[in-house]
Chains A and B, each alone.
Chain A
Amino acid sequence: MPRARVYVTLKKSVFDPQGHTIHDALRSMGYDGVTDVRQGKFFEVDLSGVAPEQARDTAEEIARKVLANPVIESYRVEVEP
């Protein structure tokens, strides 16, 4: 059964208040080498009844329509057969 992994993150142009807060916390812990933190979401989508070659298209469509809001977020899809 093909499995899609979808990574959703705020666009680079969008300020990420949660990532910023995590970054501040890491710095206060002494992790001076951390230069940025972006928080995002990770989805595993199992696709049954979908041919492997169609799995990517279906997963991309799901990411575009539902999992990410294109106004503020971008996404990346990986598919394993």
Chain B
Amino acid sequence: MKFGVVVFPGSNCDHDTEHVLRDVCGQDVRLVWHKDSDLSDVDAVVLPGGFAYGDYLRTGAIARFSPVMKAVGEFARKGGPVIGICNGFQILQEAGLLPGAMLRNQSVQFLSQPVHVRVERTDTPATMGLRVGEVLTMPIAHGEGNFYAEPEEIARLEGEGQVVFRYTTEDGRLDPAANVNGSAAAIAGICNAERNVVGLMPHPERASEPELGSADGKRLFEALVRAGARVLA
């Protein structure tokens, strides 16, 4: 299976993501420059973390106009799996491929720390084969991860089962202290209505080898491989 990892000016998790997909998961990977508009050779697309365009204007606001984003939109409309990690998630929101927007963290501090997230849905390409209710440990590193949508929109997302990950305690309980950035409904990850586009704030690529303290993130990439195999079959 071949992954496309999109590289924007200011992406800084592109090579970590490439490393995990290639060296840890044994998949083919192509780094896709943001001016490239051809994704016909890849089976799944990852928008990695970083600070695309320096987060100027708003996180993801300029990156969404990169030529590659038109191709990402078409890839997603055809049902191709797309996952956005941290800044990649913010770019997908700005592009309208995922709902909501990110506010500055409630503490107004940049947060770089491990968090626990509970898996809420397993019918997405990033969580296929995981168990609902299990808790994963992965790091976050962001200043704007405070998920916001109007209350009616949150209710709609809950009703449609689009909340994929929630910040919880280590044993999977909702707790304001565990919702470190103040996200609405403790949302750490969501998917689109069609369920093939997923965004999450934690960094699975930084938690994919035991030497890094957690290999939980690897399971998301393995899920993507499973999802890709199903699409290809």
- Chain A interfacial positions (CB closer than 8 Å to B): 10, 13-15, 17-18, 21, 66-67, 69, 71-72
Bound: A56/B101 CA distance, A: 27
Q: In the complex, which residues of chain B have a beta carbon less than 8 angstroms from the beta carbon of A21?
A: 108
9 A-B pairs whose Cβ atoms sit less than 8 Å apart in the complex: A13-B150, A14-B103, A14-B148, A15-B103, A17-B105, A17-B106, A17-B182, A69-B61, A71-B149
Q: In the complex, which residues of chain B have a beta carbon less than 8 angstroms from the beta carbon of A15?
A: 103, 106
Residue B57 CB within 8 A of the other chain: yes
Residue B14 CB within 8 A of the other chain: no
Q: Is the interface of B mostly helix, strand, loop or mixed?
A: loop
Residue B100 CB within 8 A of the other chain: yes
- Chain B interfacial positions (CB closer than 8 Å to A): 57-58, 61, 65, 93-94, 99-101, 103-108, 146, 148-150, 182
User: Which residue in B94, B99, B146 is a CB contact (below 8 Å) of A17?
Assistant: B146
- Inter-subunit contact B108/A72 (CB<8 Å): no
Bound: A71/B60 CA distance, A: 14
Q: In the complex, which residues of chain A have a beta carbon less than 8 angstroms from the beta carbon of B58?
A: 69
Bound: A71/B104 CA distance, A: 14
Q: In the complex, which residues of chain A have a beta carbon less than 8 angstroms from the beta carbon of B106?
A: 15, 17
- Inter-subunit contact B57/A71 (CB<8 Å): no
User: Which residue in A14, A18, A67, A71 is a CB contact (below 8 Å) of B108?
Assistant: A18
User: Which residue in B101, B104, B182 is a CB contact (below 8 Å) of A69?
Assistant: B101
- Inter-subunit contact B107/A66 (CB<8 Å): no
Q: In the complex, which residues of chain A have a beta carbon less than 8 angstroms from the beta carbon of B94?
A: 69
